Structure 1
Amino acid sequence: AQDLLPDHVLSQSMLSQNPNAFHSDQLLCGHLFADLVGFTELTSKMSSQESFVMISELFRVFDSLCDAWNVSKVETIGDCYWCAVGLQSNATSADMARLVGIGLEMQ
């Protein structure tokens, strides 16, 4: 669980006697998974080096967007880019709006 949940969420849920602790209004974080639709088909026509360069450049752009929108990059999983808000403290509605904003800009 330590790799999957922000520290503040994990500590709150472990201390809680409530079986629905993960549904508490106090445990908020938001996640965005940006999957590259058609990536497999597109890269099947490229060399491995070309596909690596393409995805590296795109993920570099996404990293810059995370910096600009104050969103935390979590991981890349194949052709999926994972970022989040609320990893250091409970996410607010403004944090969630930033997450939506970056998602729209990633399109």
Structure 2
Amino acid sequence: MSHAPVFDAVIHAPGRLQICAILSSVDDAEFAMIRDAIKVSDSVLSKHLKQLEEAGYVKLTKQAENGRQRTWIALTPAGRKTFAAHVAELQRLAALTAPEPMGQGFAG
């Protein structure tokens, strides 16, 4: 990957990280699909999307369909680049952790 790993605090919040992960594998996704996938209310998803939009990471498009307004969300090129760099940084950090010794698994 050509992008240097960079931790991004806007993306890192669990809900926003999940949103970016979903959007990274598609061109766009409908609001309700994302809401249901990350199991949050409309208002919580709206707040996350507003923060991502203000950072320039997502673009929202509203379309009327069968008399209903639907919102579609897509990662911007900057959002894709930043998400990829964030994931690379998480992978770099994970690689720094000590491997668990064999036979010493957590007994839960």
TM-score for both structures, normalised by structure 2: 0.29
TM-score for both structures, normalised by structure 1: 0.29
